[in-house]
Amino acid sequence: MKKIAAVFFIMLFIPFFAGAEGFTDILDLSEECGCELRFDYWKGVYELRKGRAAVRFSSGSPWYLVNMNELRGGIETELTSDGRFLIDKDTAADVAAFFEQQGPVIGGIRYIVLDPGHGGKDPGAIGYYTSGGEKKSLQEKDVVLKTALTAAEMLQARYPDKEVLLTRGDDRYLKLEERTEIANSVELREGESMIFVSVHANASFNSTARGFEVWYLPPEYRRDLLDEDQYDSVDSDVIPILNTMLEEEYTIESVILGEKLLDALDAQVGDISINRGPKEESWFVVRNAHMPSVLIELGFVTNQDEAVLLSSPSYLKKLSKGIYNGIVDFINDYERTRGYSE
Ligand SMILES: [Zn+2]
């Protein structure tokens, strides 16, 4: 109710006021640059967006955030008693020039990172099952590698213009921080984004536990997305605010990605396995990938029936197809809503 009231309030009063001396109203600026203006009433965050280019302002902060990764200072803002957000004219001119330079919208999801868990000396979860009267074992590292490799192949074929990266493409050991480092070291150009999908298989002392699930970071968790050293002159109080501004976007996208993956896996294997739904947890790789990121558990190697399934190439193919479909669905939505098309 308050949000609606605030918007109404602004709309009602805006025609009666001219810009204050030396300041530009953010509404006028949005019109001038052809941007969409978004306002988060609770956080006091204003966002101007045009295609992939975005500038965010936080009322009371001497800093503003350009394209979610560049912090610029020296801004003076004013929140008037009638609810208008004003920006000093110099900064307003800089922001208008920034949007002017953007040119045609390009970009979208440029990189897809698939992270098959474990590997090498680390087998991950190990399950045992009986097939044809023979006792066999199954290692998580093999299940997830095969599944991720097939999904990566399908994605690369579908998107020749995007890069599908695997944190490992064979049976090798990688530390957790090496996995996120691979993803975080990718240099994105203006307007480009990426996603991170870690692939695992589950284990439980309860041998009846079975099914697939997708994990993402709890919304209340705040990652250190901005490196404080990079902005040593910044008032340290501002860093958490800016992180929240970034975090908001990544969290929402991670949840959407997780839901799409669950739906797609369900469509592939929901009749044979069980959809255990979305989960929230701050796994290391999910927590440290500075981009929308999720972790998939394909099934339980410790469940007899599921271990039989997870050792079958045709079942793994279905899981790969599910991952592929979920990611394609996410990318379609992500790029369409931001004005990109193939
Ligand atoms: Zn694992």
Q: Which of 88-102, 214-228, 319-333 has the highest mean pLDDT?
A: 319-333
Q: State mean pLDDT over 222-244.
A: 57
Helix (H, G, I), strand (E, B) or coil at 30: helix
> Cα of 297 to ligand 1 centre, how many Å?
8
CA of 317 to the centre of ligand 1 (A): 19
The answer, yes or no, to whether residue 10 has pLDDT greater than 50, is no
Task: Give residue-wise pLDDT tens across range 246-270.
Answer: 666 778 888 899 999 999 999 999 9
Q: Residue 326: inside a domain, yes or no?
A: yes
Question: Ligand 1 centre and the CA of 213: distance in Å?
Answer: 12
What is the reported pTM? 0.67
Last residue of a domain, one of 101, 116, 141: 101
Is there a domain that residue 135 lies in?
yes
Distance 240 CA to ligand 1 centre (A): 31
At which of 69, 101, 133 does a domain end? Answer: 101
CA atoms within 13 A on the CB side of 268: 22
**Enclosing domain of residue 41:** 2-101
* 312 and 296 in a common domain: yes
- What CA–CA distance (Å, rounded) separates 202 from 197? 16
C-alpha 49/C-alpha 334 separation (Å) is: 15
Same domain, 121 and 96: no
Separation of CA 124 and ligand 1 centre (Å): 5
108: β partners? 192
CA of 153 to the centre of ligand 1 (A): 22
CA-based R_g, the chain, Å: 23
Q: Which two tokens stand for residue 4?
A: 């609606």
Whole-number mean pLDDT of the chain?
84
Give the domain CATH number at 37. 3.30.457.10
Q: What is the amino acid identity at position 180?
A: T
Q: Does the pLDDT at position 3 exceed 80?
A: no
Mean pLDDT of all residues in 172-181: 90
CATH number at residue 243: 3.40.630.40
With contact defined as beta carbons under 8 Å apart, do 313 and 217 qualify? Answer: no
The answer to the question of residue 342 being in a domain is: no
Q: How many structural domains does the chain have?
A: 2
DSSP label at residue 15: G
In the predicted model, is pLDDT for residue 282 greater than 80? no
Report, as an integer, the average pLDDT of 321-335: 95
* Over residues 160-181, mean pLDDT: 92
Q: Do both 27 and 113 map to the same domain?
A: no
How far, in Å, from the CA of 122 to the mean position of ligand 1?
10
Q: What is the mean pLDDT of residues 96-123?
A: 86
- Contact, 304 vs 209, CB < 8 A? no
- Residue 8 placed within a domain: yes
Higher-confidence residue of 228 and 182: namely 182
Q: Is 168 within 8 Å of 121 (Cβ atoms)?
A: no
